[in-house]
Structure 1
Amino acid sequence: MIDDDDFKAFQEEMKGVKPLKTKKKVEVVKDKVPEPSLIHRRQMAVTVESGHDNHLTEEIIDLVHPLDVLDYRTDGVSLGVYRNLKRGQYPIDARLDLHRKKMVEARREVFQFIKDCQKYDVRSAIILHGKGELSEPKAFLKSCVNTWLKQIPEVLAFHTAQKHHGGVGALYVLIKKSERKKQENKIKYNKGRVE
């Protein structure tokens, strides 16, 4: 409850104060350059419309350093599985070597490699991209692979390989099960269950 003396003191202090004039509508200023993710989505839409299967970007590449450790994990991958991948504890069932490849060729090969891995039920693979210490810009192919793998829904996780498998010049890749393999597992593990 406000005391009368306090209220009178407040009114005395506020004498001569005028309310601020405000604009009645909000002005929205849009950036002239769309954000990279929007550009990529637009490129993917155009690519899909033109009938191309490979949607990996050639223009928006997040550059990394030649000695950077790369890591990525989707929400569905448990920490234990990711830890095993990171340590190189899964058998390497397929290998892709991108040394001395041009970006366009590497883009095509990475996309096809992941598709083939899923088709043939390869769950763990390795991609040798090199460190790129001599490339211009530095680590360009490594940067491309880092960006592309995040754009492929079949890739569940990846991590820089252990030293004996290529270290910062290679990535372990964990690939989603094919639909056929998922169905086989359902049948296998649901046997004997009564519904």
Structure 2
Amino acid sequence: MSSYSDDDDMALWSHIVATITPINNNKTTYKKPQEKHSKFYANNALSQYNNHINSYRLLTNSTLDFNNNQTITTGINLDKNTKKKIDKGKYHIDNVLDLHGYTLDTAYSTLINFIITNYNESKKCLLIITGWGSKNQGNNSIKSNFSKWLHNEQVAEIILYYKEAISRHGGKGAFYLLIKSKKKSK
């Protein structure tokens, strides 16, 4: 049992209420969230790739027929078991990039830089989350441009294979991307 009386509680409560300042208009100010992948922008390497940012627009007008299950680089025989593991979502994913909320230009440059950075770090399998894109976006969604962007001259030669992810990794809104191993200099 407490040694304080109801009068003591009431006096304390009155004191607390008297010192409270109301919130103006009941609005809270929020800090602008940091860019999800700001570490990629910190790298000076991105600036040298920005001059190619419009090249995806050239590819969107091409007559090439891309599908989401193709081998990009010719002359590379992907091991049957490796392909099977990727297709079933059982290949170890080394790094993930989520492009939700990005503009097309930012998504494009971030993707190219992400692939090059992971290649330089000897990463092998990447999971790229593009999102589904809305029907009213048509060919202006990240997903609809994704396979075209992979044909960029800076990354096309290091990409071995890509495939739509299984449902637990994002399904139709994500892709597995297998890149070549970087040759070690002696």
TM-score, normalised by the number of residues in structure 2: 0.60
Deviation at 1:133, TM superposition (A): 2.4
Aligned to 1:57: 56
Change (3 A) 1:78 1:139: farther
Deviation at 1:88, TM superposition (A): 1.2
Say if 2:143 is the partner of 1:145: no
Change (3 A) 1:139 1:172: farther
1:132-169 per-residue CA deviation (whole Å, 9 max, x = no partner) reads 12551267211211111133221110000010000000
Say if 2:114 is the partner of 1:109: no
Say if 2:101 is the partner of 1:95: no
Aligned partners of 1:155 and 1:175 also within 8 Å: yes
Structure number with greater Rg is 1
Aligned partners of 1:128 and 1:166 also within 8 Å: yes
RMSD: 2.6
Instruction: Indicate the structure with greater helix content.
Output: 2
Aligned partners of 2:139 and 2:145 also within 8 Å: no
Residue identity matched to 1:61 = T
Give, in whole Å, the separation in 2 of the partners of 1:103 and 1:135. Answer: 15
Aligned to 1:82: 83
Aligned partners of 2:82 and 2:91 also within 8 Å: no
Give, in whole Å, the separation in 1 of the partners of 2:136 and 2:128. Answer: 18
Structure 2 unaligned residues grouped into runs of 5+: 1-46
Aligned to 1:136: 137
Give, in whole Å, the separation in 2 of the partners of 1:170 and 1:81. Answer: 19
Of 156, 160, 166 in structure 1, the residue corresponding to residue 164 of structure 2 is 160
Change (3 A) 1:107 1:138: closer
Give, in whole Å, the separation in 1 of the partners of 2:180 and 2:147. Answer: 17
Aligned to 1:42: none
Deviation at 1:81, TM superposition (A): 1.9
Where 1:179 maps in the other structure, the secondary structure is: coil
Change (3 A) 1:61 1:145: same
What is the total number of aligned residue pairs between the two structures?
128
Aligned partners of 1:123 and 1:176 also within 8 Å: yes
Give, in whole Å, the separation in 2 of the partners of 1:161 and 1:106. Answer: 19
Where 2:134 maps in the other structure, the secondary structure is: coil
Give, in whole Å, the separation in 2 of the partners of 1:78 and 1:89. Answer: 15
Give, in whole Å, the separation in 1 of the partners of 2:70 and 2:177. Answer: 9
